[in-house]
């Protein structure tokens, strides 16, 4: 029932050593070793990230900025060093282009609430795609509703890839913003981002990139891409939950008004008026999630230390192995199997609801995600109630791919 093994896996990454760095992987579920394949939802955390957060609480815990005592200075230094680390990982020109947000969802809402009303008005147009996650669809839909602008939805083909000709046809002098995911969270399809950005800029539009699924699996250089906005969540790239980053190109950020107001984002406050802090601090009201910020930087340091080329090559190999094995199973449909993908394998089992498949796999110790994956427009395009989604990370192996295929084979037998 299973295809012959593929060629030898890459030997540039010591996966056994990597797996040893992740405590959560070494447990059993229902008496079986955990096979964790829900990384597009959230990744497990390496000891380096866990230890960094513990060290912050044990040695540096204090509120940041304006404190003259040593702990406050240490916490501030750690936070701003983390900003520099994160900005460098994204290829930003300066740390001052990096705003700390709670994650991808807050980043898109921040831009929709600040830059949006200043630049999008009645009669203007915003382009999204059928494949976008709700967090990169609904904020722009709501912006258009509130301003009288028109939301245009660029279609995807049967493989889930953006129909580039249709996208070009939507662009016009009325287009103010193009919002697009770098990698689909449902299908893993990689968007031709550089070309989309070039086309959008030629039309006079800004581009907002949802990088939640690309930062863990692909090299990202926001300057080379020419992105105006780029957002990601740390918890999808081995960091803590509740923290992420929003890159905004310096000239675009300069005229954006605050998102929230309060402490930490002001310059001068009088009874008559308030002026705002410069740069990213203008968007970081209140006490920040400092432990999350330093944990996020530790995740980037950890990933960089493994060697990004080796990480991405290893993940691509595991994805290819899993795809080949599932495609060989009768009654299993793998979506976007022929498209360029990163990190994600979405499939359906003939005659079975995705929830049932996911539940049965769970009893075998295999963690996957099921449902519409917060992408209902894409599910409508594909005429599906949902999919089963297996998603991969640096610590996954070909053995995990084998376990998935064997688990699905058992599900097929059960459904018989």
Catalogue the active-site residues: 374
Give the separation between CA 397 and CA 36, rounded to whole angstroms: 10
Name the β-bridge partners of 36. 367
Instruction: Name which of 347, 290, 392 is nearest 44 in CA terms.
Output: 392
- Mind spelling out the 3-state secondary structure of 43-82? CCCCHHHHHHHHHHHHHHCCCCCCCCCHHHHHHHHHHHHH
H/E element holding 361? helix 354-363
**Cβ–Cβ < 8 Å for 172, 143:** no
CB burial class (10 A; 0-12, 13-18, 19+) of residue 314? buried
Give the separation between CA 369 and CA 362, rounded to whole angstroms: 10
Query: Which tokens go with 345?
Result: 């394998």
């Amino acid at each position: 029932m299973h295809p012959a093994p593929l060629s030898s896996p890459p030997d540039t990454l010591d996966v056994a050593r990597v797996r040893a760095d992740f405590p959560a992987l070494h447990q059993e579920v229902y008496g079986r070793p955990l096979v964790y394949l829900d990384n597009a939802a959230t990744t497990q955390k390496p000891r380096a990230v866990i230890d960094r957060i513990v060290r912050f609480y044990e040695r540096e815990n204090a509120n940041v900025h304006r404190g003259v005592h040593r702990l406050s200075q240490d916490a501030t230094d750690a936070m701003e060093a983390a900003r520099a680390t994160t900005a460098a990982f994204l290829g930003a020109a300066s740390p001052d282009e990096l705003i700390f947000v709670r994650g991808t969802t807050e980043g898109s809402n921040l831009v929709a609430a600040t830059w949006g009303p200043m630049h999008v008005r009645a009669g203007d147009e915003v382009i999204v795609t059928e494949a976008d996650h709700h967090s990169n669809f609904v904020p722009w839909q709501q912006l258009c509703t509130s301003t009288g602008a028109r939301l245009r939805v660029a279609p995807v083909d049967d493989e889930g890839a953006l129909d580039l000709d249709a996208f070009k046809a939507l662009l016009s002098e009325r287009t103010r913003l193009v919002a697009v995911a770098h990698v689909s969270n449902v299908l893993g399809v990689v968007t031709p981002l550089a070309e989309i950005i070039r086309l959008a800029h030629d039309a006079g539009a800004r581009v907002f990139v949802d990088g939640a699924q690309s930062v863990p699996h692909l090299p990202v250089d926001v300057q080379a891409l020419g992105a105006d906005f780029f957002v990601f969540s740390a918890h999808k790239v081995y960091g803590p939950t509740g923290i992420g980053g929003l890159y905004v190109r310096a000239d675009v950020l300069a005229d954006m008004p605050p998102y929230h107001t309060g402490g930490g984002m002001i310059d001068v406050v009088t009874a008559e008026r308030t002026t705002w802090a410069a740069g990213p601090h203008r968007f970081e009201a209140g006490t920040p999630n400092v432990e999350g910020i330093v944990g996020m930087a530790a995740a980037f340091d950890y990933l960089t230390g493994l060697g990004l080329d080796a990480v991405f090559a290893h993940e691509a190999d595991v994805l290819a192995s899993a795809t080949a094995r599932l495609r060989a199973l009768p009654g299993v449909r793998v979506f976007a199997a022929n498209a360029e993908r990163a990190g994600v394998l979405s499939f359906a089992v003939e005659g079975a609801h995705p929830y049932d498949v996911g539940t049965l796999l769970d009893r075998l110790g295999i963690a996957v995600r099921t449902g519409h994956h917060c992408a209902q427009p894409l599910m409508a395009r594909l005429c599906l109630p949902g999919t089963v989604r297996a998603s991969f990370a640096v610590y996954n192996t070909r053995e995990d791919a084998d376990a998935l295929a064997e688990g699905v084979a058992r599900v097929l037998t059960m459904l018989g």
